[in-house]
Structure 1
Amino acid sequence: MSADLPAISERTLAEGPAVHDHPLLDRLYRARGVTAAVELDSQLKHLLPWQSLKGIDAAVDLLQQALQHRWRVLIVGDYDVDGATSTTLAVEALSAFGLDVDFLLPNRFEYGYGLSPEIVELALQQAPDLIITVDNGIASLDGVAAAKAAGVKVLVTDHHLPGEQLPDANAVLNPNQPGCKFPSKAACGCTVMFYLLIAWRARLRESGWFEQGHREPALADWLDLVALATVADVVPLDANNRRLVQQGLARIRAGRARPGILALFEVAGRDWRHARSQDFGFVVGPRLNAAGRLDDMTVGVQTLLARDPAQARQRAAELDALNRERRSIERSMLVDAERYLDDLSDLENRNGHVLFEADWHEGVIGILASRVKDRVHRPVIAMAASDNGLLKGSARSIAGFHLRDGLDWMASQCPGLLRKFGGHAMAAGLTIEAERLDELRQWFDRAVSELCEPEALIPTIVTDGELQAAELNLETALLLETAGPWGQNFPEPRFHGRWRIESQRIVGEHHLKLELSDPNGQVVDAIAFNIEPSIWPTQKPYLDGVYQLQCNRYRGRESVQLVFNDLAPRD
């Protein structure tokens, strides 16, 4: 945190009638684009209908055939949280419907991402009749072709943006494929799989299947997985996604989640009874992701599949240890990245940054890119050495620059530069030949310069304005805690203000504990994490800052606390 704050702007409210009875919540919701109260209703009856998903009938047909002919079904997932939860959902739910199901997760260091021909060769050892991809497959043209050539049917379920050509699968389910009219393009991979289950259940109900003595699975039992995937995969929280997350959170808070998720809360020292959507992104998600980043995501899926609480806790402890190792590696890599930035004479003139060190860990470069992106407020690609003279990269962006579109532009402008690429607006992956690193640096900087509006490159903090003195209390903090779920494109409320510093001290290594007073003399506790030790503590009497109003729980006591994201001392 620097001595100066970036420019602050306040969110503008959507025009129209009130959407909530509480004045503060009404202001917050309308500032996030909510225009009707029904958008805030989390009941499952308001979920978008499955019928508008292109390919849904063909996908259900395949499941029907698998059930009728007793096919062996193999789930091929991805090595991130969305992939692990999608795999768990597919294995458990399809088994509950009566299918013979197993799963295969590619090791990112041996096989890379998606249904590649190499993964198909490995999958064929299990003699599947049907391969179902979850959270991948939309770009796996060669892999799908290899599977079909071997006589295996393929059902692709994915949510990533497709290329110009779709795989020749027996069915493709992806809300982002051309011609799909499903309104929520922000569905994650786990949600796509969940919708396939909803559609299949409807088909079985219609045929009278469950009236013939077959047990009907309760799909709501898997909403904890869908909620975790939605937040951890950082997809926009549109109304449909918020309903799914809210329902999943309700199950967790009631202790009705799977043992593995509850165990992940516990090893992190968090109380699942007060679970928030932010815990998926900052507590549970990173521990699951650590398996795919450093080892094998199979242990993550095994944690989620565990039915015995003791086994779940053991697995969760393994993931927690991997996450600590990941943080240690990340800290070392961040030192290298900061050295690169400090040595860069034209830092302010670079619009896109490409970083590389020969010994960087391929599984951690995505986190590194995100950390550097936050520091320099520029799109960043972090590269790591791979096999056969190739470099693999993970990119993170800022609002205003669509990463996948930018990479697509680079591929068209400089054919052959990118061996492979794919992703979303804010995150993407790519592969290049090692000798073309300097070219990548030039073209990425040029892509950002060409495609990103200059205003987007100016750091700005967007807040929800100031809170009144009467709102600075525990009641408001608890209200905000349950008013979400907050996440991507529906951010947790942040407020700004000026405070008098009554006391300040360092806790831990780099955290600042404060007592502050407002102009009315009301005193409130506050904390700022990872402060700049050359600035804090300060001799100045005031501070300007941007904060979140939260409930601090300690030894059974609840109190209100300001958690500062940015702050600067003032005279």
Structure 2
Amino acid sequence: MSTSTVIVRRSLPDFADLPGSPLLQRIYAGRGIRSAEELDLRLALLPSPATLKGITEAVSLLETALRQRWRITIVADLDADGATSCALATRALRALGAAEVNYVVPNRFVHGYGLTPEIVAVAAGEQPNLLITVDNGMSSTEGVKTAHALGIRVLITDHHLPGATLPEADALVNPNQPGDTFPGKQLAGVGVIFYVLSALRSRLRESGWFAERGLPDPNMAQFLDLVAVGTVADVVPLAQINRVLVDQGLRRIREGRCVPGIAALFTVAGRSMARATAGDVGFQLGPRLNAAGRLADMSLSIECLLCDDPARALQLAQELNRLNGERRVIETDMKVQALESLDRLPLDDHELPFGLCLFDPGWHQGVVGILAGRIRERVHRPVIAFAPDNSDGLLRGSARSVPGLHIRDVLAAMDVRQPDLIARFGGHAAAAGLSLLPAHLPAFQAAFDAEVRSQLRAEDLNGNLWSDGALESAEISLETADELREAGPWGQGFLEPLFDGVFEVISHRVMKEQHLKLSLRSPGAKPALEAVAFNQVGDFTPGTARLRVAYKLDVNEWRGERRLQLMVAHLEPAV
């Protein structure tokens, strides 16, 4: 099996009116920025919650819950967005004066996803008056019916795309529901619940709630550390609203004004909180928070984020770190199996299915999402990885897409054509989840490939690396690396700057059998540059004199010394 990665330089419109250095102007223009206003990340510029459909009903329901001292139970989801959403909702409602707030989180191996009848039955044990979903609920029609049959009211807050039928909740807030005019369609689940509770705080302030009870009027900005972590970890596009939320949250983290659990996660990850970036959150904190939901109990991550005792928070973070190490071992083994299966096929990448479905009866359903993403990176096409669910006999699949293909819409189109093929599905543009009967897998594989072929061309299946062009030798510096770090936050839809160029190879060595440490020299420059290429040993031939490299600028800090480092995304022999 061969793969194709192509370095493509961005075409740049005029960027003379943008702020910053010429390099930053070029980078911003390549990401579609057209004015300085789009780079303004002040909190005051966030849009009002008023245009969120259902916000009035939601706030009224919550105000009633507080005034009548209802028992409230948060129904969380199984990932970092769900954990941060749950922690934020719990902390904020308590700060706003709620009498009793608890939470439940499904076990993916027992209760399934979202507000299922099974998790409603668990929540009912707390005798709640109100259930609030965070980062889930848009497909929970049966769960809402079950709650109502038990006399429990339901508020759904979610960001996932709705199906044909909306659940009949007492209130529903989701910027992606039909008829919603809120401009921030890219909000993560934690962003949605932040907006809902911010609107509640305003209502309570106007009604004299805090003065009546002698309660402090909480500043909702104190919860932005959780918003930043959940938004980045969920890999939603960093459009301007999300950039504001993430930037403000990161500022609080750097200043040490974050919950002890976040500080503890930075400690176990070995990252500097004072120099925290969105990359640190996405690649270090997110996987550790997600590991609990994939392998054990997501409440471990939620408790870490709710804990106010730094010592206890560190213990919880260490356990999350251990689970993440276990997850990496499982994932590596599954990836090896998947790639060996592909290599045994008498195909090259031009003959692989456009839409690739993989299944192994020994795979762990908590890790198939990561596996699908890793295989997609290798074969440059949408991938669905399936694992068996022994609780109900179904296959659980996790899908990861490529730019230009809305994976949830693909599944919806398939469901229209063959209504009995998929048991259940949901998700958004880049990722989705589904379940189906094992007997339906061959038909599903064929239908998925056909639907992807109807929407993508063969040339869409190249692994394009979008480069911001070459850097002059003088620009490859610590100063430039610091400038780019400060110019973020970077992330999905607002990608961290990537450059390319041809370098002379001075030396190389292999680290841990799969990573490369390189010493490179830019033509015409004297000092050698330190470069690291993770998982790319097989792409380098010893003795190669010149390489074309796609790279990011990074700063390697060790014992007080700061050195420039190139983080290599792709390398190939220079012609």
TM over 0.5: yes
What percentage of aligned pairs have identical amino acids?
A: 49
| 1:97-496 alignment runs, 5 A limit | 97-99=96-98, 100-212=100-212, 213-347=214-348, 348-349=350-351, 350-386=353-389, 387-496=391-500
SS in 2 for 1:9: strand
Q: Distance in 2 between matches of 1:155 and 1:26?
A: 44
- Secondary structure at the residue paired with 2:396? strand
Write the distance in 2 (CA, Å) between the matches of 1:506 and 1:46: 48
Q: CA deviation at 1:12?
A: 2.6
Instruction: Give the deviation of 1:389 after TM superposition.
Output: 2.5
Q: Is the 8 A contact 1:9 1:462 kept in 2?
A: yes
Q: Is the 8 A contact 1:515 1:523 kept in 2?
A: no
Quick one: distance in 2 between partners of 1:159 and 1:108?
20
d(CA) in 1 for partners of 2:117, 2:299: 20
Distance 1:526 1:37, change over 3 A: same
Contact 1:400 1:453 in 2 (8 A): no
* CA contact 1:294–1:326 (8 Å) conserved in 2: yes
Q: Distance in 1 between matches of 2:189 and 2:537?
A: 42
**Once structures 1 and 2 are overlaid, which stretch shifts more, 295-304 or 212-221?**
212-221
Q: Which amino acid aligns with 1:191?
A: G
Deviates more, 1:518-527 or 1:88-97: 518-527
- How far residue 550 of structure 1 moved from its aligned partner, in angstroms, is 1.1
2:255 aligned partner, one-letter code:
A
TM-score (norm 2): 0.97
The Cα shift of 1:482 comes to 1.5
What do residues 239-280 of structure 1 show as CA deviations (whole Å, max 9, x unaligned)? 000010001111111111111011111111111111110111
Residue type of the alignment partner of 2:355: G
Residue by residue over 1:499-547, the C-alpha shift from the partner in whole angstroms, topping out at 9 and shown as x without a partner, is: 1112222233322222211122233423233344455352121110100
Alpha carbons of 1:49 and 1:17: their partners in 2 closer, same or farther (altered >3 Å)?
farther
Q: Give yes or no for contact 1:175–1:181 (8 Å, CA) kept in 2.
A: yes
**Post-superposition CA distance 1:410-449 (Å, at most 9, x none):** 1111221100001011100000001111111111111110
Residue equivalent to 1:54: 53
Counterpart residue identity of residue 560, structure 2: G
Amino acid corresponding to residue 467 of structure 1 in structure 2: L
Secondary structure, aligned partner of 2:485: helix
1:190-240 Cα offsets, whole Å, 9 max, x none, are 000000111111112222223332211121111011001111101000000
2:78 is aligned to 79
Paired AA for residue 569 in structure 1 = P
- The TM-score, its normalising length taken from structure 1, stands at 0.97
The answer to which of 309-318 and 466-475 deviates more is 466-475
CA contact (8 A) 1:11 1:463 kept: yes
Q: Equivalents in 1 of 2:432, 2:113: separation in Å?
A: 12
Letter in 2 for 1:279: D
Answer with 508-517 or 360-369: which moved more.
Answer: 508-517
Count of residues paired in the alignment: 570
Deviations 1:453-497 (A, max 9, x none): 443212222110111122111100011112110000000000000
Within the candidate set 540, 544, 555, 2:548 is matched to: 544
- The 8 Å contact of residues 16 and 25 in structure 2, kept in 1 or not, is answered as no
Secondary structure of the structure 1 residue equivalent to 2:125: helix
Q: Please, what is the CA RMSD of the aligned residues?
A: 1.6
Aligned to 2:101, what secondary structure does the other structure show? strand
CA distance in 2, matches of 1:111, 1:526: 49
Deviation sequence 1:109-134 (CA, Å, 0-9, x none): 10110001111111111110011000
User: Which amino acid letter does the alignment assign opposite residue 177 of structure 1?
Assistant: Q
- Deviation of residue 15 (structure 1)? 4.3
Residues 504 and 537 of structure 1 are in contact (CA less than 8 Å); yes or no, is this contact kept in structure 2? no
> In structure 2, what is the Cα distance between the partners aligned to 1:455 and 1:32?
22
Assess if the C-alpha contact under 8 Å between 1:505 and 1:537 holds in 2. Answer: no
Letter in 2 for 1:119: I
Deviation, 1:570, is: 3.3
- Counterpart CA distance in 1 for 2:327 and 2:510 is 26
* Whole-angstrom distance in 2 between the partners of 1:531 and 1:230: 27
2:94 matched residue in structure 1: 95
Structure 1, gaps ≥5 residues long: none
In the aligned structure 1, how far is the partner of 2:230 from the partner of 2:430?
Answer: 16
One-letter code aligned to 2:196? L
- Contact 2:88–2:223 under 8 Å retained in 1: yes
Q: Which amino acid aligns with 2:571?
A: L
Partner-residue secondary structure (3-state), 1:126: coil
1:30 is aligned to 29
Which amino acid in the other structure matches residue 540 of structure 1?
T
Correspondence for 2:43: 44
Q: State how far apart, in whole Å, the 2-side matches of 1:104 and 1:118 are.
A: 12
Residue 49 to residue 42, structure 1, CA distance change in 2 (3 Å):
same
Q: SS of 1:523's equivalent?
A: coil
Q: CA deviation at 1:172?
A: 0.4
* CA shift for structure 1 position 164: 1.1
Measure how far apart 1:390 and its partner are.
Answer: 1.0
- Does the Cα contact within 8 Å between 1:14 and 1:32 map onto a contact in 2? no
Aligned-partner Cα distance in 1 for 2:295–2:5: 35
1:73 and 1:535 mapped to 2: Cα distance? 54
Of 505, 509, 531 in structure 2, the residue corresponding to residue 505 of structure 1 is 509
* 8 Å CA contact 1:510, 1:529 repeated in 2: no
Matched residue SS, 1:442: helix
Q: Sort the Cα spacing of 1:400 and 1:535 in 2 relative to 1 into closer, same or farther, 3 A.
A: closer
Provide the rounded CA distance (Å) in 1 between the counterparts of 2:335 and 2:141: 36
**Residues 1:518 and 2:517 aligned together:** no
Aligned amino acid, residue 110 of structure 2: E
Q: Which runs of 5+ in 2 are unaligned?
A: none
The offset of 1:163, in angstroms, is 0.6
CA distance in 2, matches of 1:307, 1:504: 46
Report which stretch shifted further, 491-500 or 442-451. Answer: 442-451
Distance 1:557 1:5, change over 3 A: farther
Change (3 A) 1:47 1:141: same
Give the match's secondary structure for 1:115.
Answer: coil
